[in-house]
Amino acid sequence: MRVLIPKFLTVPLLAFLLVACHSDKGQVKAFPAPKFHETPRAFTDMDISFADTTAPEWQPIKASLDSFYRDQVARGFNGSVLIGHKGKILYERYFGWANRETKLPWSGNTPSQLASTSKTITATAILFLYEHKYLDIDQEVSTYLKGFPYKGITVRMLLNHRSGLPDYTHWAVPYVNGKTPITNDDLFNLLVKVRPKLGFSPNTHFKYSNTNFALLASIIEVVTERKYPVFLQEFLFRPLGMNHTFVFDPVKGFPANAAMSYKYNWQIDPVMFADGIYGDKGIYSTVEDMYKWDQSFYKNKILDNETMELAYGPCSFERKGIKNYGLGWRMLCYPDGYKIIYHNGWWHGNNTCFYRFIKDNFTVIVLGNKFNRSIYRQPQAVFNIVNGSANRETDEGAE
């Protein structure tokens, strides 16, 4: 069963050929790869606009969405939501405080911590470098990160969480000052020194680990000879017009308009050691910027279709069921062939949802800055409201 977009919004559907993770994108150049020499491009057609929702059939849908979000706010939701279809915003709302202490309300220019939804951006940056033949995802990590202490782990295994590397947010705790942010370089040096035991032999299981994406950020820095935040600004955020998107720097602190992170009881979640590490999290953005990010894939602004097919291919088959993980993307693969590409996030008090019904170019983005697990149930509810009696299981997990 496919998404039932209201009739007044229907247009021909965009079809994607979705292939498995083991697909090969052809031969890359012999190593060493060429020195990075790309020039950032500015895209002039990434503006987004509101759909015409004046049609009578939209009014009960809008009323239902308003009612649903009044209930969500009553249950503690504090943040922003955007629902989009084929580049047009169907519904966009802001609720509560971005900064409760200064009485700054949420608005369209309020950047909020994406948490693990940042992984979609890190993965895309890696695949951009792969597509342009600056790195080979099937080379071992040690090809790029000299001194990496494990054999048999490839860049692809970092992307699909099949490396076996344990999560640094757990194993690194005894070796750091919990209140002082460390950097990606600090983490890598600690990994080399401590060499925590792998959870399993590489490429035998799926196990979600933030260590994987912290290392991917370090690989980006080695290959491009640019810091990860600089590369993202030059080649992703600025070209796409994502003007309120940036990588958090604990030295610089929070911009005045940024959403603070709150526990469920409105206590500020303090900065700690892992807040200096990026790649796995750390990117701040807005729902409109994230909608530009979503739409960039349909317009092939960063990746071509072949590379996107690779990213959207399920990689782990040890467990049965509709849930799987590609290269930086979670996915729900239904028996009828329908697929939802998404990534949730949870870091401190921030909960995020980024759901992409790609065959229909239908998107739900939710950013929250006050801990509230019910955020992860919103995409399912929104889907059902907009599509009437349609019902597809979505994922209510944090990451």
Whole-number mean pLDDT of the chain? 91
The residue with tokens 């994987």 is 212
106 Cβ neighbours under 8 A, 6+ residues apart: 78, 79, 80, 94, 95, 96, 97, 98, 259
CA 249 to chain centre: 18
- Both tokens of 231, joined, read 């590369």
What does the alpha-carbon distance between residue 192 and residue 8 come to, in Å, rounded to a whole number? 58
Portion of the chain with pLDDT greater than 70, in percent: 90
- Compute the average pLDDT of residues 377-385: 92
- Compute the average pLDDT of residues 338-353: 97
- Compute the average pLDDT of residues 273-281: 98
Q: Which residue has the higher pLDDT, 16 or 180?
A: 180
What does the alpha-carbon distance between residue 272 and residue 178 come to, in Å, rounded to a whole number? 6
Nearest to 21 by CA among 329, 279, 298: 329
Is residue 6 in a domain? no
The residue with tokens 């907009």 is 386
Contact 188, 175 (CB under 8 A): no
Q: What is the reported pLDDT for 27?
A: 43
78 Cβ neighbours under 8 A, 6+ residues apart: 95, 96, 97, 106, 262, 368, 369, 370, 372
Tally the domains of the chain. 1
Is residue 335 in a domain? yes
- What does the pLDDT look like over 90-139, one tens digit per residue? 999 999 999 999 999 999 999 999 999 999 999 999 999 999 999 999 99
Given a cut of 60, whether residue 12 has pLDDT beyond it is no
Which pLDDT band holds residue 399 (cuts at 50, 70, 90)? confident
Task: Residue 174: give the domain boundaries.
Answer: 92-350
Is residue 276 in a domain? yes
Q: What is the reported pLDDT for 21?
A: 57
Which helix (H) or strand (E) segment is 50 a member of? strand 49-50
What does the alpha-carbon distance between residue 238 and residue 232 come to, in Å, rounded to a whole number? 8
- What does the pLDDT look like over 217-267, one tens digit per residue? 999 999 999 999 999 999 999 999 999 999 999 999 999 999 999 999 999
- Compute the average pLDDT of residues 33-54: 90
Nearest to 352 by CA among 124, 79, 162, 157: 79
Given a cut of 80, whether residue 376 has pLDDT beyond it is yes
β 345-347/246-247 pair status: unpaired
Is residue 277 in a domain? yes
Is residue 71 in a domain? no
Q: What is the reported pLDDT for 19?
A: 42
DSSP 104: E
Helices (H), the chain: 58-74, 119-131, 155-159, 168-171, 184-194, 210-224, 228-232, 287-298, 305-311, 378-386
What does the alpha-carbon distance between residue 88 and residue 19 come to, in Å, rounded to a whole number? 28
Given a cut of 70, whether residue 374 has pLDDT beyond it is yes
Is residue 259 in a domain? yes
Q: What is the reported pLDDT for 397?
A: 72
- What does the pLDDT look like over 169-202, one tens digit per residue? 999 999 999 899 999 999 999 999 999 999 999 9
What's the angle, vertex CA 127, arms to CA 122 and CA 130, rounded to 5?
135
Report the CATH number that the domain containing residue 237 is assigned in CATH.
3.40.710.10
Tell me the whole-structure pTM to 2 decimals.
Answer: 0.93
Is residue 260 in a domain? yes
What does the alpha-carbon distance between residue 86 and residue 10 come to, in Å, rounded to a whole number? 10
Is residue 355 in a domain? no
Q: What is the reported pLDDT for 368?
A: 98
What does the alpha-carbon distance between residue 149 and residue 169 come to, in Å, rounded to a whole number? 19
Q: What is the reported pLDDT for 11?
A: 42
Burial (Cβ within 10 Å: 0-12, 13-18, ≥19) of residue 37 = exposed
Contact 350, 115 (CB under 8 A): yes
- Both tokens of 191, joined, read 């990994």
